[in-house]
Amino acid sequence: MKRIEQVRDDFVRALAALEDATKVAKNDLEIDGALQRFEFTFELYWKLLKLHLAGEGIIVNSPKQCLKESFRLQLLTEEEIGLQMLDDRNMTVHLYDRRITREIFERVKSLYVGMLRDSLAKIVGEPRAL
C-alpha cells in the first residue's frame, strides 16, 4: 500500500472517531478525549494534504503552508477556518484553560468535522459521504 493510501485510511478512521466523540461528549473527560482525537486527526489531515500536494509537485514543510496551498487548489474551501483550526490545535496541545478548550470543542463539533469531511472528499474525488 502506498504511503498516501495508508495515511488516508488512518485519517478516515480518525475522522470517524472524532465525529463520534463530538456527538457523545458531554462531561469534561469526554470533551477532553474528543479534543485529543481532534489533535490526532489534524496531524493526519495535514500529513495527508502534504502527501497529496507532493503528488501535485508542490512541496510544503509546515501545516500552515500546507493549508494555504490546499486552499489555493480548492481542497479547502475556507482558508480562515483552516488556519483557525491550526491555531486551535496548537492551543489544545500547549495549554489548558477549560473555557478556551470548551470554545475549541464547539468549533470542532460545529465547523471542523464538516470541513475535514468536505476536504477529504475533494482529495479523494468522491462524494462527501465517505
pLDDT digits (tens), the chain, 130 positions: 699 999 999 999 999 999 999 999 999 999 999 999 999 999 999 999 999 999 999 999 999 999 999 999 999 999 999 999 999 999 998 878 889 999 999 999 999 999 999 999 999 885 443 3
What are phi and psi for residue 129, nearest 5 degrees? -80, 80
- At CB < 8 A and 24+ separation, what contacts does 86-92 make? 86/42, 86/46, 88/38, 88/112, 89/38, 89/39, 89/42, 92/35, 92/36, 92/38, 92/39
Range of the domain at 91: 3-124
Residue 67 lies in a domain: yes
| CATH value at residue 117 | 1.20.120.330
pLDDT tens digits along 19-41: 999 999 999 999 999 999 999 99
**Whether the predicted model's global pTM rises above the 0.85 cut:** yes
Residue 87 lies in a domain: yes
- Confidence at residue 127, expressed as pLDDT on a 0 to 100 scale: 45
Number of domains comprising the chain: 1
Q: What angle do CA 32, 120, 58 make, to 5 degrees?
A: 110
Residue 45 lies in a domain: yes
